[in-house]
Amino acid sequence: MSLYLKQIEQLISLQRVDDEIHTVRQELDNTPRELEALRARSAQLEEDGSRLQDKIAHLRDQEKRLGLELEDDSARLKKSKGKLMQVENTREYHAMVREMDSLERVQRSRGEDRTALAEELARQAVLLEEVEERCAAAKTELEAFEAGMQTRLESARDSLDKLQIKREQTGREIPAPVFDRYEFIRERLEHPVIVPVSEGVCSGCNIAIPPQNYIELQKASQILSCPNCQRLMFWDRHFTPAVE
C-alpha cells in the first residue's frame, strides 16, 4: 500500500471514531431538548383540556338557562291558553291568539337552540375525551423519559470518554502534518472532515469537482481538498470496503 493510501486509510479510521463521537454528542445535546419538548407537549395538552372543560361548563350553563326559559315559556303559554277561554270579545280573542303565536315561536326557537347546544356539548365532550387520552399518554411518555434520562446520559458520557481515548490512540498513528490538517478542517467545518468522491461528485457538498481534480484524485499521489467545501476527499474506489 502506498503512503498516500495508508494515510487516507488512517484518516478514514479517525473519521469513523469522530462519527461515533458526533452521534454521542448529538444524543447529549438532544436529550435535554427532547425532555423540554415532551414537557411542553404535556403542558399544552393540559391547557387544551382545561380550555375544553371551561367551554363545556359554559355550554352547560347555557343549557340550564335555556331549560329554565323553556319552562317559563311553557308556563306562560299554558296561562295564555287558560285566559283564551275567558275572553269576552273578538278583539281580545285575536290579541290573545297573537300573543300565543309569539310565545310558540319563541319556544320553538329556544327548543332549536337547545338541540343545537346539546349537539355541541356532545361534540366537545368527545374532543375532551380525546385530549384527556392524549394527555395521559403524554404524561406516561414524559415520566418514562425522565426516569431513564439520567441513565441514558451517563451511558452516553461514558461512551464519549472511551471514544476520546480511542481517538487519541488513532490520532497518534497519523503523521502530525496530516493530523493537524484534519484537525484544522474539523474545527472550521461541519462534520464530517474526510469524504469519498463518487463519479466525480463530492459526498460532502454534493457538488461535482473539477475534472482535473478528479484525475489527480484517482492518481492517489497526494491528499486533496474539495474546492467547493474544503473537506478532505478520496476516490471511493480506492477504499470500497472501508466506505461500505
- In tens, the pLDDT along 15-70 reads 999 999 999 999 999 999 999 999 999 999 999 999 999 999 999 999 999 888 88
For the domain covering 28-171, report its CATH number.
1.10.287.1700
What is the average pLDDT across 124-146?
Answer: 96
- Pairwise CA distance, residues 26 & 30, whole Å: 6
pTM equals: 0.68
Radius of gyration of the CA atoms of the chain, in A: 39
| Euclidean distance between CA atoms 234 and 217, whole angstroms | 6
Q: Please report which confidence band the pLDDT of residue 73 belongs to, taking 50, 70 and 90 as the band edges.
A: confident
Contact between 16 and 194 under an 8 Å Cβ cutoff? The reply is: no
Residue 220 per-residue DSSP state: T
Report the alpha-carbon distance of residue 242 to residue 236 in Å, rounded: 9
Domain ranges of the chain: 28-171, 177-243
Average pLDDT in the 128-149 region?
96
Give pLDDT tens digits for 80-92: 777 777 766 777 7
Residue 206, phi then psi, degrees to nearest 5: 60, 35
Task: Give the tens place of pLDDT for each residue, 100-117.
Answer: 888 888 888 888 898 999
